[in-house]
Every structure is written in structure tokens, then in C-alpha cells.
Structure 1
Amino acid sequence: MAVATEAISYQKRPSRELFEARRDTCTAERERLLAEWRAAPETAPDLWFTYHPYCKSPDWIGPAVSKALAIPYVTAEACRTRQATDADWHDARSSVQKAVTSADVNFCLKKSDHEYLATFLPDMSSVVPLKPFIDDQAGGAAAALPFANGEPVLVAVGMMRPGAKMHSYAALADTLRELPGRWNLVLIGDGPGRSEIETLFAFLAPDRLHLAGAVPHDEVRAWLEAGDIFVWPGIGEAIGMAFLEAQAAGLPVTAFATAGVPEVVGNRAALLAPSGDTGALRDHIETLVADAALRQRMGVAARAHVAANHSIRAAAETIRHSLDPLLAAARNRVSSA
């Protein structure tokens, strides 16, 4: 049964007044829901699942509802982000930590989140690793390439905006500027930094470079299916979903061994360079440009890696294995009450 609510806890910037207003709204909504479910117990939930509680969006409803109804409380991707100063978000962060500490299961998607949870949980028994996942069956026909030369196609995907994305584009340009051999490049993405990126890659002949712009997800997959090598440094990539999409399309990956990249690429599906080492990254790309058989082997390994570890099926099995016992125990408590 679906329950509609207009209550929100999110606030973009620190504000004591807004924090208290959001908390009061969620508290009132919590009491409304409990009254409704106590009046009609058959409509009450069997489990409460909260996604991504963090300082900007605490969960002021789930823990209390779960306790009142004696149902399991579960979170996924609880994390700490670097927002302003610690003082600005202290109360909200404390609320999140209290909620996460009360949870029966906390699904954790990346190493940095695991390290954060370890700073305040009394033990890590509630923490269940959940690998980032995608729909690996979503592929379709490959895009029609704009190149007539039949030579390897390098593909990069990233929004064209200041910050880490722009740093990755700059590192990629430095990497490719002296890359030997004959190859083509497709850049997928758009944004306020597009003109700067066009300048960065002006060293390439126009018939070797294609800027696809911002395209729908299925078209991104089509470009990946048409490519030969995924080339994205991955600076600041917390999880690196683009690397999963590329591997699902059968592309070998080249990137820096930085941030969350090593957590999502398969050992036999990627060539990773030390963070910031454009020379080593160039060597990896050169190796793949020159060796079609290696690209093929790594592409097969890439698809297998995603299917086994990062598919919806793999994630569903992890979630089912954790939640089924909780639901069974909760039902047993109800039947014996």
C-alpha cells in the first residue's frame, strides 16, 4: 500500500529556523501515520527503508515508527558529506547518527561510507556491503559512428562543468595529446564548461573527434556499445557509475586508481594508472589501441564482472538475504503477540 506525504526533511543550506520547522513537520507527520496505522493495522508496513540519510536530510520518521510498530528499520547509503563547517550541521548529523545506530541493517555502498559508519556505530554488525549496481541488460543497438576510418574509438562520459569533472577532462586531454597510433574520440556530456573542453581537445583533427552532447541514458549506452575503450580519469568519482555502464557494454576501462574507481572495475577488465599519472594512463590506452585481441578479452571480462557483482540481480540477492530474516522475525513477533 502506498502512502502519500508532503513532509520533507531536506534543506540545502544550514538554517536553525528551517531545521526546526522541518523536524516539527516530520514529527507531526510521524504521529499522523502512526494514528492511521494503529486504527487500521492491516495497512501498516512490515519494514521501514530509508535511502541516503545524511546531514541535509535526516530521517525523523522511520526510527520512531519502526519502534512503535515493532518493525525492522533499514537504511542504505548513510554517509557524511563535507558541508560547510561541522557546527553548521551538528544537530542534523547527530540525528542521522542516532537513526543509523538504531537500524537493523545499514546497506553500505562504498569504502568511505564504511569508514564513516565505523566512527560512531558501537559495532559494525548492522553494516551490509551492497555493491553499486546497474541494469546490465539495458543495452540495445550500437550508435552509428561518425568516423569512416574503422580505427579504435575511445569513449568518455562526463558532465562538462567546473570541479572534478573539468579536472578529469583536462587530465584526459593531457593524456591523449601525445598518444601515438590512429584512433578516434567520442565525448558524451554537456554543460557550462563545453567551450573550455572544446579548446582542450582542439589538438585533434575534426574528423577524429565527436562531441555527442548531453543524450538520454539509452543513447549513452548505445555510444558505449559502439566504442572500443572507455577513457575517463575518474577524478573525484565517489562511486563511478559510468565505469559500470561502460563495462556492461563490454568496454575495457582505463582510468586513475582514485576515489571510488577501484571499487567498481574488475581486475581483468581495467587498466588503472596511479592517480594523476597521465603518462601511465597514456601507456595503458596505447596498449589497448594497439591490441584488438586484448580489448576483446577485457571486454568479455568486463561484462562478466558487472553481471556477477554489480547487476540488479546481484543487488537483489544481497538485499533479499538481509531482509528476509528480518521480515520473518517481525512476523513471528506479531503472530505470537
Structure 2
Amino acid sequence: MPAKIAFYAPLKSPDHPIPSGDREIARAMMKALRLAGYQVTLATETISYQKRPSSTLFCERRAACEAERDRLLGAWSHTPATAPDLWFTYHPYCKAPDWIGPAVSQAFGIPYVTAEACRTRQATDADWAEARAAVQAAVAGAAANFCLKPSDRAYLESFLDDPGMIVPLPPFIETAAQAPQAPPPVPFGDDAPLLLAVGMMRPGAKMASYRALATILSGLAARRWTLVVVGDGPGRADVEAMFSELPAGRVFFAGALPKPEVAGWMGAADIFVWPGLGEAFGMSYLEAQALGLPVAAYAAAGVPVVVTPASGLLALEGDVEAFRANLARLIDTPALRQAIGAAGRTNVAEHHSIEAAARLFKHTLDPFLPRTRETARAR
């Protein structure tokens, strides 16, 4: 019988109706674990996430999680055959500590595992001190901590006694799910190179990237190009205003679209352009590369984790002129676009596939599970 894994995402449930990078990564993690041969169930949709420091909300979230913890402990104690063999928490951090998994793992004597444990740099250390302490205690007690980017590894190494508990996990996508729908009708009257940007329109880093992109394109108005923007959100009016100074008829706002339609636009486009300010790494970069789309971005935050020098042209963060020069090269040179696009496909296939993630999960987790089954039989 396959080992049973209880999966938990304290930031956002994989079943949440609103799309986001966190939701997609959580879903991909569950699929990869299933591909590795495990029986994976979503333990709970109770979240601990709070966007900003608030002692009141912190206490409310913790109380709700503790009540859910007690419910799960009661249910699994009543029917031990349904209890998990391993607990897997995706993305615990200061804003979303895991108040459930460590207690369940301790009560049932099962391994506790995390993926993408990190810290926030927002507000002050004091504002998040209690939540950060809880995350660090959970991570320190984990059998393994899968780490997706170098900055997170540096953080974990700052407090873990044993860095061997850190397991590098390259961000990954399910390339089989990337088959695009028939390319949509291109809403432009000529065959100029088609640029594509994909990003939610919300305050913070996403809006900063939109603002940067509008500035970059304002210096390339003399070249032939068109742009499709996929995304929506509370900042849409602001985003449209940012691009209103560009020549008329050059930008089309497609709104929020389901993944097959986004893949359709990627299949129809010539260049994927997204500054990537503040991106953890950006799953859309992987999706674009998997479909042979060359990338233009800043070497910001986690972008270089998924975009290599061969699969995209990266400018130093904030260097507008360098970004413009890179984008101009891609606009002007079809052969360069083709070569970089091919390198992107190879990058994803070799380093960022769900199959590779499943193999890593199995290699890492299987050694913990025989001991778990022995403990379960003794209960």
C-alpha cells in the first residue's frame, strides 16, 4: 500500500478558487508526490496567513489552527488506519506559520517535512518574531526541508545546526499540462514581433514590474512590436494607465485567463517579457520556456533560479537601458529568438520537470518511511 502523505499549505489552499503562483506550486507539489508513488491528501484548508502584522489576527489564526489540529488528532486517533505516514508542509514562513503539522507529527511519530520555508523582509523583525520562532522550530524538527532558491537556503543555514536537512529542489512544472489551445486570434493588424507579459494586477511587486515594463517599452516605441498582457486584479485601471502613453493599438489587455489559454498566447507570442521585480522565481518563466519562448527579464530576486543565461536575456535589476537593449535584440533578431527559445525548452526538460521533482521526492522521503510503518504497526 502506498505511504500516505498529509499535505498542508498554511498560506493558501491548493483548492483556492483564485489563481496565484503559490496555489500552482502547491498543486504541482502534490502531483509530484503522487507521481513518486505516494497517496497524497490535503490535510486541511485552514490557513494561518496574515498579510500584515496584527496581534489580534495572529491570535485568531493560531486558535483556528489549534482547533483544526485537535480535530485531526481526534479523527486519526479514532481511525488509526487513516492516519498519515508523513506530514508535508508547503511554504511555511513568518506570515504563515504551521501550527498544525509539528504537533500531528509528534503525536503520531511520523516524519515532518517542509518545502520552501523562508522568511519575510516586510515590517520589522519584532513584528514577526513569534511566528518566525514557530517556523524555525518546525523547520529544525523536520526530517527534510526542500529548498527552492539560494536565498532561502542561506536563511535556513543561519539557524539550522545540520545543513544536511536542506534538500535543493529546483522549481518545476508539469510540461505535459503545457499543451496550448489553438493560438488565439492576434488582435493586431501586422506581423510585428508579439511580446507577452503575464502577471496579476495587484499592489506590490507585480505593479512594480508593470511600471518597469511600461517604462522600458516607452523607449522602444520606434521599433515594430505588439504586446499582449494577460492578467487582472484590483490594479488593472492603474496598469492600463501606465501603458496609455505608448502608441495606440500596440497593447492588448486579455484579462485573466485559464492556463490552457495562457499557454495558447505563449504559443502565439515571440518573446516573453516580464521584469520580475520581487519574484520568488516566477512559474510563468518556466511555462514560457517550456513552449520555446525566449525570456527578457531583470536578474532580480529568484528569476535567475529558473532563467539561465542561455534561455533568456537578463539585465541587472534596475538597469533600464540594458533591459531595452536586450529586448531590442530579441525584437530585431528572429534567429536569436529561436536559439534562446530552444535553450529554454532544454532548460525546463533537464532541470525543471515534474518527473525530476518526483524522483527527488522519492529518493529523499523513502528512507524515512520504513521506520514510519514500523511505528504505525506498534500503535
TM-score using structure 2 length: 0.80
1:260, distance to aligned residue in structure 2 (A) = 0.9
The aligned amino acid for 2:208 is H
SS in 1 for 2:249: helix
Aligned to 2:251: 209
Taking the aligned partners of 2:152 and 2:88, their CA distance within structure 1 comes to 18
The aligned amino acid for 1:80 is R
Q: Structure 2 residue aligned with 1:139, among 179, 182, 194? A: 179
Aligned to 2:13: none
Aligned to 2:109: 70
1:143–1:225 contact (8 Å) kept in structure 2: no
1:255, distance to aligned residue in structure 2 (A) = 0.9
1:232–1:254 contact (8 Å) kept in structure 2: yes
Q: Deviations over 1:209-262 (max 9, x none)?
A: 222222222222211110001111111112212211211221100111111111
Aligned to 2:146: 107
Q: Does 1:329 align with 2:329?
A: no
1:153–1:186 contact (8 Å) kept in structure 2: yes
Taking the aligned partners of 1:3 and 1:206, their CA distance within structure 2 comes to 48
* Cα separation, partners in 2 of 1:97 and 1:284, compared to 1, 3 Å: same
1:86, distance to aligned residue in structure 2 (A) = 2.4
Q: How does 1:103-252 map to 2 (within 5 A)?
A: 103-137=142-176, 138-140=178-180, 141-179=182-220, 180-252=222-294
Taking the aligned partners of 1:6 and 1:286, their CA distance within structure 2 comes to 46
1:123, distance to aligned residue in structure 2 (A) = 2.0
2:281–2:304 contact (8 Å) kept in structure 1: no
Q: How does 1:296-335 map to 2 (within 5 A)?
A: 296-332=338-374
Taking the aligned partners of 2:248 and 2:309, their CA distance within structure 1 comes to 34
The aligned amino acid for 1:194 is R
* Cα separation, partners in 2 of 1:98 and 1:288, compared to 1, 3 Å: same
* Cα separation, partners in 2 of 1:118 and 1:209, compared to 1, 3 Å: same
The aligned amino acid for 1:47 is L
Q: Deviations over 1:82-132 (max 9, x none)?
A: 343322322222111111100001111222221221121112111111122
SS in 1 for 2:313: strand
1:7, distance to aligned residue in structure 2 (A) = 5.5
Equivalent pairs: percent with the same residue?
58
Q: How many residues align?
A: 337
Q: Does 1:51 align with 2:51?
A: no
1:336, distance to aligned residue in structure 2 (A) = 8.3
The aligned amino acid for 2:94 is C
2:196–2:273 contact (8 Å) kept in structure 1: yes
Q: Does 1:255 align with 2:297?
A: yes
Aligned to 2:32: none
1:83–1:89 contact (8 Å) kept in structure 2: no
The aligned amino acid for 2:350 is A
Q: Which moved more, 1:197-206 or 1:55-64?
A: 197-206
TM-score using structure 1 length: 0.89
Taking the aligned partners of 1:211 and 1:254, their CA distance within structure 2 comes to 19
The aligned amino acid for 1:144 is P
* Cα separation, partners in 2 of 1:159 and 1:28, compared to 1, 3 Å: closer
* Cα separation, partners in 2 of 1:294 and 1:100, compared to 1, 3 Å: same
Q: Structure 2 residue aligned with 1:61, among 92, 100, 103? A: 100
* Cα separation, partners in 2 of 1:223 and 1:98, compared to 1, 3 Å: same
Taking the aligned partners of 1:150 and 1:210, their CA distance within structure 2 comes to 15
Q: Which moved more, 1:283-292 or 1:226-235?
A: 283-292
SS in 1 for 2:163: coil
Q: Which moved more, 1:226-235 or 1:60-69?
A: 60-69
Taking the aligned partners of 2:46 and 2:268, their CA distance within structure 1 comes to 44
Taking the aligned partners of 1:234 and 1:211, their CA distance within structure 2 comes to 19
Taking the aligned partners of 2:203 and 2:195, their CA distance within structure 1 comes to 23
RMSD, aligned α-carbons? 2.6
Q: Structure 1 residue aligned with 2:118, among 52, 60, 79? A: 79
* Cα separation, partners in 2 of 1:144 and 1:328, compared to 1, 3 Å: farther
Q: Which moved more, 1:91-100 or 1:140-149?
A: 140-149
1:196, distance to aligned residue in structure 2 (A) = 3.8
The aligned amino acid for 1:262 is P
* Cα separation, partners in 2 of 1:298 and 1:15, compared to 1, 3 Å: closer
Taking the aligned partners of 2:373 and 2:324, their CA distance within structure 1 comes to 57
Unaligned runs of 5+ in 2: 5-40
1:32, distance to aligned residue in structure 2 (A) = 4.7
